[in-house]
Structure 1
Amino acid sequence: MQLAVALAALVAAVGALEPVSVSLAIGAASVLSGYLAKPRFYCAFVECCPPDDHRPDPAALQQSLNERLFGQHLAQEVILKALTGFIHNSNPKKPLVLSLHGWAGTGKNFVSQIIAESLYPAGLKSTFVHLFLSTLHFPHEHLVPLYKDQLQKWIRGNVSTCAKSVFIFDEMDKLHPGLIDAIKPFLDYYEQIDGVSYRRAIFIFLSNAGGDLITRVALEFWKSGREREQIQLKDLEMVLSLGVFNNRNSGLWHSSLIDRNLIDYFVPFLPLEYKHVKMCIRAEMKSRGNFVDEEIVENVAGEMTFFPKDEKIYSDKGCKTVQTKLDFY
């Protein structure tokens, strides 16, 4: 499309030139057309959908997770293995579907941003990364049938443009029940639907639902004297899938996505402890180009509130208010 527009503009300008100039302009247009027809040259100026043989560097993803995500050993391990395995599979049988669960401020949005940046340099701003907010894009319950139709058209259109499209659904716990089932056909084991293959797309669900279940398991480990790093995916994944399936406010209530086992991974985000909050503060100071002052780190962390009431182990807002509290100092 950009090539057609550029050439059309050039041809329109030719009409105002003298014969010699016209010849030069036509020659220039031919050269320009030849160069733009080559994907490598063209994609240096316009974002292009990655070719089938493009493989993002898993080492870069691992480094980004290590440096920017704190206290989430399970999420780091699952995301790295799931994404790396998927993008290096030359013939996936279905799209990759991840469902991220945990309290606010534990890193779910951060991880979706890291995933987007690992696949596309523009990250969340990429033409091929699509973010849906439940309260913004699907606010009215009486319009659910319309939303279902629109959602199918949006996904079909974008995957037709780029097979490696990424779709992120935030605020799943605020999504009207049954709405997400509209995308079930795109997540299933179909080679094509109406001539379009969805097998290379990635779908990511973000939800606060299940946060209480995750915290309960983490607290049980703490009370028994076991390290949080000893918590394994098997300790939480089944609890999460059943919990959100039976929770009317999860967005996945009685969803066929769970019933048909179309969600590949339920990824738990553990509640953050005091030491993790301090890590977030240090990282935020470094990102601003500031010297890390440990006195300020202690002051900001000390203003955060923790639960349960007696033990005060976990930050009730994770790292969500770190930026605003740091502004005060």
Structure 2
Amino acid sequence: MKAERIYLFFYSISLISANANAFDPVTTTVVVGIGATLGSIYKYFQESCSPKWIAFNATDLEVDLQRKLFGQHIASRIILKAVNGFMNNENPKKPLVLSLHGWTGTGKNFVSKMIADSLYKEGMDSNFVHVFTSELHFPHASQIETYKSQLQQWIKGNVTNCPQSMFIFDEMDKMHPGLIDSIKPYLDYYDKLDGVSYRKAMFIFLSNAGGESIIQTALDFWKAGRGREEIELSHLETALSLSVFNNKKSGLWHTSLIDKNLVDFFVPFLPLEYKHVVQCALAEMEARDLKADKSIADQVARDLIYFPKSERVFSVTGCKTIVSKLDYYV
């Protein structure tokens, strides 16, 4: 990050300044002058919790969802309305809590990045975006009580620093049951807890849990000859929340977040079809400033595994392996 590089450079100069007695008066004056100048530069570029660095752009989010997220008409609609409504509310009653569910490669991480990009000038590189991955940050079941305490302190400290902080919990289906319950008070309808307000923060949970029920609904519609776009949230929401609540591997198993209705939206991500994989390949080419070649996109899409095996309707890995597949053909 630019601010970090400036900081390291400024820190080096400060070390020189600290040893200025080793130089002659002229050199010392020059060093101190450089230090003062760099100090001003550092303060200018250092990210802060202010409108200069944090400003929601609803248009950017809408355009990204329309042009870059394929086959997810339900998720796109929910995300846009939920984030837009929350960010335009000057006095929200609680943090925004989104739980994104679906099979691998369907766009959950991608959407999280879109939300961060629409809110923070530095996007996912912002100091106010915090990503937790279960296997990296909470690997040992025997340490669960320690993790709970550390997680509470981390969230409290960062929201104290910036009320508009974002917390993303990836791989929720691999997270120890009960860990998320430890932050339940921060997601509830409180004005303040120990002098800290969490109402402008955002929490996003990403999980494969519930993917089976989403896939089954999509298959049922396909077998009935009904269009994918006919699937509505009402066809999925109840089954999805129950599936997540009763699944020990969901990370939200029997959690009070569901009991107390603290999750604002359960967002389903549908399995992707062949045509969506082609769109992903073409979008990746465009992102690399390559000529969009439909024949190559088709080759990439044909390489993937689909299910049911006989009909080859839905991609097993969604768009997750597109980048590596495209490397091979390009």
Who is 2:66 aligned against?
66
TM-score by length of 2: 0.88
3-state SS of paired residue (2:130)? strand
2-side partners of 1:240 and 1:228: how far apart? 18
Superposition CA RMSD, Å: 2.7
2:95–2:187 Cα contact (<8 Å) kept: yes
Q: Mark the CA change 1:310 to 1:119 in structure 2 (over 3 Å): closer, same or farther.
A: same
1-side partners of 2:222 and 2:272: how far apart? 13
Percent identity of equivalent pairs: 56
2-side partners of 1:6 and 1:288: how far apart? 36
Who is 2:227 aligned against?
227
**Which string of whole-angstrom CA distances, capped at 9 and with x for unpartnered residues, describes residues 188-208 of structure 1?**
001001000000000000000
2:284–2:323 Cα contact (<8 Å) kept: yes
Who is 1:280 aligned against?
280
2:47–2:53 Cα contact (<8 Å) kept: no
1-side partners of 2:264 and 2:52: how far apart? 22
2-side partners of 1:17 and 1:202: how far apart? 53
The structural deviation recorded for 1:311 is: 2.3
For the pair 1:180 / 2:180, whether they are aligned, the reply is yes
1:180–1:251 Cα contact (<8 Å) kept: yes
2-side partners of 1:187 and 1:5: how far apart? 38
**Which string of whole-angstrom CA distances, capped at 9 and with x for unpartnered residues, describes residues 213-272 of structure 1?**
001111111122221111111211111111100001100000011011000000000000
Q: Aligned letter for 1:145?
A: E
Alignment of 1:196-207 (within 5 A): 196-207=196-207
Instruction: Out of 180-189 and 283-292, give the one that drifted further.
Output: 283-292
Q: Mark the CA change 1:181 to 1:52 in structure 2 (over 3 Å): closer, same or farther.
A: farther
Instruction: Out of 5-14 and 161-170, give the one that drifted further.
Output: 5-14
1:55–1:88 Cα contact (<8 Å) kept: no
The structural deviation recorded for 1:43 is: 6.6
Q: Mark the CA change 1:88 to 1:10 in structure 2 (over 3 Å): closer, same or farther.
A: farther
Q: Mark the CA change 1:186 to 1:289 in structure 2 (over 3 Å): closer, same or farther.
A: same
Q: Mark the CA change 1:321 to 1:153 in structure 2 (over 3 Å): closer, same or farther.
A: same
- Structure 1: any 5+ residue segments left out of the alignment? none
**Which string of whole-angstrom CA distances, capped at 9 and with x for unpartnered residues, describes residues 265-298 of structure 1?**
0000000001000000101111111112222111
2-side partners of 1:280 and 1:53: how far apart? 30
Q: Mark the CA change 1:145 to 1:327 in structure 2 (over 3 Å): closer, same or farther.
A: same
3-state SS of paired residue (1:143)? helix
2-side partners of 1:172 and 1:95: how far apart? 19
Q: Mark the CA change 1:154 to 1:53 in structure 2 (over 3 Å): closer, same or farther.
A: closer
2-side partners of 1:200 and 1:326: how far apart? 40
TM-score by length of 1: 0.89
- Structure 2: any 5+ residue segments left out of the alignment? 1-6
Who is 1:48 aligned against?
48
Q: Aligned letter for 1:195?
A: G
Who is 1:117 aligned against?
117
Q: Mark the CA change 1:233 to 1:126 in structure 2 (over 3 Å): closer, same or farther.
A: same
Q: Mark the CA change 1:43 to 1:76 in structure 2 (over 3 Å): closer, same or farther.
A: farther
